[in-house]
């Protein structure tokens, strides 16, 4: 038996921190469902930066980051 039709699947929610919008539906020709909603600013990079901001781990602008030497 094949996968359940889209209408029978659970709604996937955008993984951007704090977003509760539904994720974009999968492409009709196949492939995995995207993890983010249709808002252009909700993407992997902006989600990563928002998680860092919420965790308070951003470096201060005046703080120097060493190169490990």
Query: Could you tell me if residue 18 is inside a domain?
Result: yes
pLDDT averaged over every residue in the chain: 83
> Is residue 3 a part of any domain in this protein?
no
Domain residues for the domain of 22 are 10-55
Domain for residue 64, yes or no?
no
Q: What angle do CA 42, 43, 44 make, to 5 degrees?
A: 140
Residue 54 is predicted with a pLDDT of 96
Is the pTM of the predicted complex or chain greater than 0.85?
Answer: no
The reply to whether 49 falls in a domain is yes
User: In this structure, is residue 36 part of a structural domain?
Assistant: yes
Total of domains in the chain: 1
Q: Looking at residue 66, what is its pLDDT?
A: 56
Q: Which region holds residue 31: left if phi is over 0, alpha if psi is between -120 and 50, else beta?
A: left
pLDDT at 10: 81
Q: Percent of the chain scored above 90 by pLDDT?
A: 64
pLDDT tens, residue by residue, 19-45? 999 999 999 999 999 999 999 999 999
């Amino acid at each position: 038996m094949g996968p359940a039709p889209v209408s029978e699947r659970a709604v996937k929610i955008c993984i951007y921190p704090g977003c509760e919008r539904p994720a974009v539906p999968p492409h009709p020709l196949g492939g995995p469902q995207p993890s983010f909603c249709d808002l252009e600013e909700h993407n992997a990079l902006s989600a990563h930066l928002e998680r860092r901001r919420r965790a308070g781990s951003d470096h201060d602008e005046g703080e120097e980051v060493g190169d490990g030497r």
